[in-house]
């Protein structure tokens, strides 16, 4: 069975929207995995105060840290969640 192009485009667009909806913020993810700021600081090799600022949305992470958080969270914290 083949999927015609317009249906495939609609399907992929819907999947992308769902993935965007399912992604969570860093704070939501930390709460889900039950990590304190101290625990996250140890796991990401960062200062606890910096993790706290990231969690509260006061600062944005470096690109390297964004990638690391995305990998550790298995994509649940998307790169686009850091946009202001």
Contact at 8 Å (CB) between 60 and 82? yes
- Cα atoms in the Cβ-side hemisphere of radius 13 Å centred on 45: 4
**Which residues form the domain of 66?**
24-82
Give me the percent of the chain exceeding a pLDDT of 70.
Answer: 73
Domains of the chain: total: 1
Over residues 6-34, mean pLDDT = 73
CB 20 within 8 A of CB 31: no
The whole-number pLDDT of residue 1 equals 52
Would you say the pTM of this structure is higher than 0.85? no
- Alpha helices, DSSP H, located in the chain: 5-22, 26-33, 37-44, 48-56, 63-72
Q: Is residue 17, in this structure, part of any structural domain at all?
A: no
- Asked if the structure places residue 50 within a domain, the reply is yes
In a domain? residue 16: no
Q: What is the pLDDT of residues 30-58, one digit of tens each?
A: 999 999 999 999 999 999 999 999 999 99
Residues contacting 71, CB < 8 A, separation 6+ = none
Domain containing residue 44: CATH number: 1.10.260
Could you tell me if residue 1 is inside a domain?
no
């Amino acid at each position: 069975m083949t999927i015609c192009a317009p249906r495939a485009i609609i399907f992929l667009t819907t999947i992308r929207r769902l993935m965007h909806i399912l992604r969570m913020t860093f704070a939501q993810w930390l709460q889900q995995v039950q990590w304190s700021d101290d625990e996250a600081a140890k796991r990401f090799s960062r200062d606890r105060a910096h993790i706290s600022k990231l969690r509260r949305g006061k600062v944005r992470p470096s690109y390297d840290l964004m990638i690391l958080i995305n990998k550790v969270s298995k994509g649940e914290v998307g790169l686009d969640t850091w946009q202001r």
